[in-house]
Amino acid sequence: MTIKVVDVYSGSPRSYATDPNAQGVIVKATQSTGYVNPYCDTDYQAAKNAGKLLGVYHYAAGGDPIEEAKFFIANAKNYI
């Protein structure tokens, strides 16, 4: 079975989170150890309200992987 999933990040149109052609949405939450997507919660909640399968992700920037993982968990723990 194939599931169509949309990747939503801060530069995406907000409408991507509720794309009627997608069953799931994965929202960029963080990047490196200093960037938090300002639209993460907006997009996550819109997708959730639309009944989409949900996920969040961290965009690794090539820094210290342990510090990046800690940053992601600290900022995305309420979505996991």
**Nearest CA among 17, 19, 18, 20 for reference residue 28:** 17
**Nearest CA among 5, 15, 17, 9 for reference residue 59:** 9
**Nearest CA among 45, 44, 71, 77 for reference residue 59:** 71
Give the pLDDT band of residue 35 (cuts 50, 70, 90): very high
Give the pLDDT band of residue 75 (cuts 50, 70, 90): very high
- In one letter, which amino acid is 71? F
* pTM (2 d.p.): 0.94
